[in-house]
């Protein structure tokens, strides 16, 4: 058994090192919190279980390809307004990234040969949509214009912790109309707003997939605040790809963290949050090492935090209630493909959504997502080749309890089905394959440390917009959560917001 002295972390003078804040996990939520706190002068330690930072915004390299682990469609890199949270997070610690503007957010390939592109130019997108639904032209404009109203409210103010009364008072006096606007939209979902203006059933289905492809639920259950961000910012700040791949965002944040005096340790898996008198005071690693801090921040999911890092039997009632409202979304089956460049027809867009039957939108392997980041940054693949990252929802349950052989066969069969469907858009895809790696919900759980490999929380039933999403403080004094199981949910710009808000609240609590 290690001696107490050995297992605790001692400073050079032999005293126990105490940090102001320990962040468990270096996803973008965790890193934004850590960099913001370090920039305020806090002594911060980030503990990451994996070898590199980023979590689902990480990367891996194989045979000359650099693959993004998660989605390659990045919001938050605009250069104006207040909603460009990734640009702002990097700037706060004196680092920056070159980004490449994406002219089209998504090319949809939908049932009955409905093909729609969401152009960066708002009017061009509206005209393309109206061409398919001319009878709904007023409704289309009214719906998307209402999304702009939400966005304009958010984009008028500093985005910080809604758990900090002095900040709320200040923004209310600075921007009373914007605040009242947000109060109005916080309990609303997209479906209710859409049906005020639109009746065409196919157009309503289109709005379902417009929501589903980032919220993993149809319009009826998607919060209006989040839709306001996504449906407007894609035309305002735009979708911009970081040069060198999505993994650069985390690497740059770590560079900034270290410049600002913070520390990060890799291969540092936290197995326990240490509490004393009901208060979080430190963490224990798989190695047995212990670290203590005035505040503990978990970037692991709420399920991992309250069921694995703390005793599940002692889960606070507020967390039980949250679990009754929200469930784990499915994970993904991911195909990381390297393909010959001539597989892509001239003018192919970077991101595609493929669905052949509206009834199957939410089913496993129903909707297919495709990103081709090398169309924006060719340096990510060997010359003459492209990366196709293809992913589709898949449940952890469907991959549990099978032998290694069965697992490999199941992966191959699933990949075959997806490639066959994609042949209709990219003829010659199978023959043009140069590299393929298939990830399953089991891979997502193993490499990202996310319970059941989940993409994040989704409402179990229709809820009142974002009202049920918890902020950063938890029922355990000294313990905070950050990332996609806190307000406002999934998405890099969303978890960046959660990071700004968390650091703001922790900073105030530390008296910084």
Ligand X SMILES: CC(C)=CCC/C(C)=C/C=C/C(C)=C/C=C/C(C)=C/C=C/C=C(C)/C=C/C=C(C)/C=C/C=C(\C)CCC=C(C)C
Identify what 226 binds: ligand X, ligand NAD, none; CB under 5 to 8 Å per kind: ligand X
**Are 251 and 137 within 8 A, CB to CB?**
no
Which of ligand X, ligand NAD, none lies near 484, with the C-beta cut-off 5 to 8 A by kind?
Answer: ligand NAD
Which of the choices ligand NAD, ligand X, none does residue 27 contact, using the CB cut-off of 5 to 8 A by kind? ligand NAD
Before 488, cis peptide (omega within 30)? yes
> Contact between 75 and ligand X (CB under 6 A)?
yes
46 binds, among ligand X, ligand NAD, none (CB under 5 to 8 A by kind): none
Q: Which of 8, 50, 243, 362 binds ligand NAD (CB under 6 A)?
A: 50
Nearest approach, Cβ of residue 215 and ligand NAD (Å): 10
Q: Which of 361, 494, 502, 506 binds ligand X (CB under 6 A)?
A: 494
Helix (H) and strand (E) counts in the chain? 16, 20
The only residue of 22, 34, 159, 503 in contact with ligand X, by rule CB under 6 A: 159
- Taking the C-alpha atoms of residue 180 and residue 173, their distance in angstroms, rounded to an integer, is 11
| Residue 55 binds: one of ligand NAD, ligand X, none (C-beta under 5 to 8 A by kind) | ligand NAD
Rg (CA), the chain: 23
Binding to ligand NAD by residue 74, rule CB under 6 A? yes
- Cβ(494)–Cβ(227) under 8 Å? no
Q: For residue 132, what are its two tokens?
A: 């398919």
Query: Torsion-angle region of residue 384: left (phi > 0), alpha (psi -120 to 50) or beta?
Result: left
Closest to 277 measured CA to CA, from 4, 473, 477: 477
Q: Which of 49, 292, 444, 473 binds ligand NAD (CB under 6 A)?
A: 49
* Binding test (CB under 6 A) with ligand X, winner from 56, 161, 490, 506: 490
Q: Cβ 217 to ligand X, closest distance in Å?
A: 11
Spatial distance between the Cα atoms of 272 and 324, rounded to a whole number of angstroms: 24
| Enclosing H/E stretch for 410 | helix 404-422
Q: Are the CB atoms for 15 and 292 separated by under 8 Å? A: no
For residues 72 and 58, give the distance between their C-alpha atoms in angstroms, rounded to a whole number.
11
Closest contact distance (angstroms) between CB of 469 and ligand X is 10
Kindly report the backbone phi and psi dihedral angles of residue 343, in degrees, each rounded to the nearest multiple of 5, phi listed first. Answer: -70, -25
C-alpha neighbours within 13 Å on the C-beta side of residue 488: 29
Phi first, then psi: give them for residue 260, nearest 5 degrees: -85, 10
21 is an interface residue for ligand NAD by CB under 6 A = no
Of 39, 44, 47, 154, the one binding ligand NAD (CB under 6 A) is 47
Q: Does 503 bind ligand NAD (CB under 6 A)?
A: no
- CB neighbour list of residue 128: distance below 8 Å, 6 or more residues apart: 116, 117, 119
Using CB under 6 A as the binding rule, whether residue 90 contacts ligand X is answered as no
484 binds ligand NAD (CB under 6 A): yes
Binding to ligand NAD by residue 295, rule CB under 6 A?
Answer: no
Point out which residues bind ligand X (CB under 6 A): 71, 73, 75, 106, 154, 159, 162, 168, 171-172, 179, 182-183, 213-214, 225-226, 229-230, 351-353, 369, 371, 488-491, 493-494, 497
Point out which residues bind ligand NAD (CB under 6 A): 24-30, 47-50, 55-57, 70-71, 73-74, 246, 269-270, 299-300, 304, 448-450, 456, 483-484, 490-492, 495
């Amino acid at each position: 058994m290690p001696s107490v002295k050995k297992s605790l972390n001692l400073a050079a003078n032999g005293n126990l090192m105490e940090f102001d804040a320990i962040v468990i996990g270096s996803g973008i939520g965790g890193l934004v919190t850590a960099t913001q706190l370090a920039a305020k002068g806090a002594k911060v330690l980030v503990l990451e279980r994996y070898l590199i930072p980023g979590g689902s915004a990480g990367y891996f390299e194989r045979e000359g390809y650099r693959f993004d682990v998660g989605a390659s469609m990045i919001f938050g890199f605009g250069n104006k307004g207040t909603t460009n949270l990734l640009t702002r997070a990097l700037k706060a610690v004196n680092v920056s990234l070159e980004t490449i503007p994406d002219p089209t957010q998504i090319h949809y390939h939908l049932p009955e040969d409905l093909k729609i592109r969401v152009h960066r130019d708002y009017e061009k997108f509206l005209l393309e949509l109206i061409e398919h639904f001319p009878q709904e032209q007023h409704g289309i404009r009214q719906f998307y214009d209402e999304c702009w109203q939400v966005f304009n409210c958010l984009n008028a103010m500093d985005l910080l912790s809604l758990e900090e009364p002095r900040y709320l008072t200040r923004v209310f006096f600075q921007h009373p109309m914007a605040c009242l606007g947000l109060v109005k939209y916080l309990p609303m979902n997209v479906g209710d707003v859409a049906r005020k203006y639109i009746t065409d059933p196919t157009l309503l289905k289109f709005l379902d997939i417009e929501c589903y492809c980032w919220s993993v639920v149809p319009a009826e259950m998607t919060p209006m605040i989040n839709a306001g961000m996504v449906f407007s910012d894609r035309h305002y700040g735009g979708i911009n790809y970081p040069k060198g791949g999505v993994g650069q965002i985390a690497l740059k944040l770590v560079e900034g963290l270290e410049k600002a005096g913070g520390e990060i340790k890799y291969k540092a898996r936290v197995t326990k949050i240490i509490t004393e008198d009901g208060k979080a005071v430190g963490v224990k690693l798989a190695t047995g090492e212990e670290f203590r801090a005035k505040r503990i921040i978990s970037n692991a999911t709420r399920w991992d935090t309250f069921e694995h890092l703390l005793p599940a039997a002692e889960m606070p009632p507020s967390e039980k209630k949250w679990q009754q409202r929200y469930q784990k979304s499915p994970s993904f089956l991911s195909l990381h493909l390297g393909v010959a460049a001539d597989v892509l027809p001239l003018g192919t867009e970077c991101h595609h959504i493929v669905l052949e039957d509206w009834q199957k939108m939410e089913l496993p392997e129903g909707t297919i997502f495709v990103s081709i980041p090398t169309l924006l940054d060719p340096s990510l693949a060997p010359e003459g080749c492209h990366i196709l990252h293809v992913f589709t929802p898949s449940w952890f349950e469907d991959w549990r309890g099978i032998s290694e052989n069965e697992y490999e066969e199941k992966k191959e069969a699933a990949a075959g089905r997806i490639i066959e469907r994609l042949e209709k858009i990219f003829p010659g895809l199978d023959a043009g394959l140069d590299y393929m790696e298939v990830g399953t919900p089991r891979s997502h759980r193993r490499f990202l440390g996310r319970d059941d490999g989940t993409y994040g929380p989704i409402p179990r039933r229709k809820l009142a917009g974002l009202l049920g999403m918890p902020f950063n403080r938890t029922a355990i004094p000294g313990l905070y959560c950050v990332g996609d199981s806190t307000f406002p949910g999934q998405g890099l710009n969303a978890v960046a917001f959660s990071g700004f808000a968390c650091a703001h609240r922790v900073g105030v609590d530390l008296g910084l």
